[in-house]
Amino acid sequence: MEFLTDYGLFLAKAVTIVAAILIVITAIVAAAHRNKGDDDSEGELHLKKMNASYKRLKDSLEEKMLSDEERKAWDKTRKKEKKAEHKALKAKAKSGDPVEKPVKSRVFVLDFDGDIKASDTDGLRKSITAVLSVAEPGRDEVVVRLESGGGLVHSYGLASAQLDRIRARGVTLTACVDKVAASGGYMMACVADRIIASPFAILGSIGVVAQLPNFHRLLQKNNVDFEVLTAGEHKRTLTVFGENTEKGREKFLEDLQDTHVLFKEYVSERRPAVDINAVATGDIWFGRRALDVKLIDELKTSDEYLIEACDRADVLGVNFRRKRTLPEKLGLAASAALEHSAVRVLSMFRNRNVL
């Protein structure tokens, strides 16, 4: 047991050293990349026909459940149907009659995976711009599969404003939340005409928080002076290294309260049925409870909703993928390697009842 513990600690140290080396290399390559001034990270738009994907899954399962004889008969029937359909279209075209395909509505599916800075906003913006150039108001729909625990106010304010563009054009907007849409994430979700969430998705957290350390007493103890010079009474209310005053705290809290008021007004305008004073306490609700307080409209996973949509519309996944730079690729590789190693170490300890 002692050997395993020592080995685990050694492995953890080795992983830490390797991660540190990778971070240094990534920083060096990033600096070199910036110096080159390359601008090839524009990316491109990808389109996926989800009806075909779901149909392939269904056909694949049905085929595997058949015996060899049944599979042969099934394949033969499908070929006959396709041949007959092709022959009918060819005959209609030969007769001179216009070949008109039935007009179906379209459901455009966008994904947003939010971090604290709402870094996906740029890709979301480009995807929305592309979709709005072809979407028909009153006929088409945009579905946003949203996952975010919130983050910076201005970042999520911009992301929410991008979704507002869809509503402003008269295109139906649906937000699907499978795991979490809290704080800034819920700010985005509430823009939608309809919010659909899984039973245990986390929603709400309509509140504002700010926190920062203060090292003034530590600096003072070591005879280190730190001066903050400002022009404007409220240019700097609280600082990390300077001495904070009660007046500064009051102003900082006042700004937080004002941000909270704006947040509540934003949600109330878009979901008037919600009792905003009851839900804007910073609390979170799981899907079932969120339905009770009208934070959402329906309990359903995004998969279920999109599979149903395939019966009535062409479902198209739209995704703007920015080309990752070499430093970003290295960083992702280092992060994945570190996470994998850490999980292995923790699993080894846990399996032996050390933790």
* Paired strand residues for 82: none
What's the gap between Cα 181 and its chain centre? 9
Nearest to 251 by CA among 265, 239, 266, 263: 239
Q: What's the Rg (C-alpha) of the chain?
A: 27
Alpha carbon distances (Å) from 165 to 9, 33, 123, 135, 160: 52, 35, 15, 12, 9
Q: Is 270 within 8 Å of 190 (Cβ atoms)?
A: yes
* Paired strand residues for 197: 177, 299
Question: Tokens 């499908």 appear where?
Answer: 78
* Paired strand residues for 48: 317
Verify whether residue 183 is a known catalytic residue: yes
Question: Tokens 């009474």 appear where?
Answer: 233
Active site residue: 155, 160, 183, 302, which one?
183
Q: Could you give the CA distance from residue 144 to residue 177 in angstroms, rounded to a whole number?
A: 9
Q: What is the DSSP letter of 240?
A: S
Report helix, strand or coil for 99.
Answer: coil
Question: Tokens 């911009």 appear where?
Answer: 158
Verify whether residue 133 is a known catalytic residue: no
CA angle at residue 239 from 233 to 244, to 5 degrees?
A: 75
Q: What is the DSSP letter of 148?
A: B
Contacts of 2 (CB under 8 A, 6+ apart): none
Determine whether 157 is exposed, middle or buried from the number of CB atoms within 10 Å of its CB (0-12, 13-18, 19+). Answer: middle
Q: Could you give the CA distance from residue 197 to residue 179 in angstroms, rounded to a whole number?
A: 8
* Paired strand residues for 106: 314
Q: What is the DSSP letter of 193?
A: S
Catalytic residue numbers read 183, 235
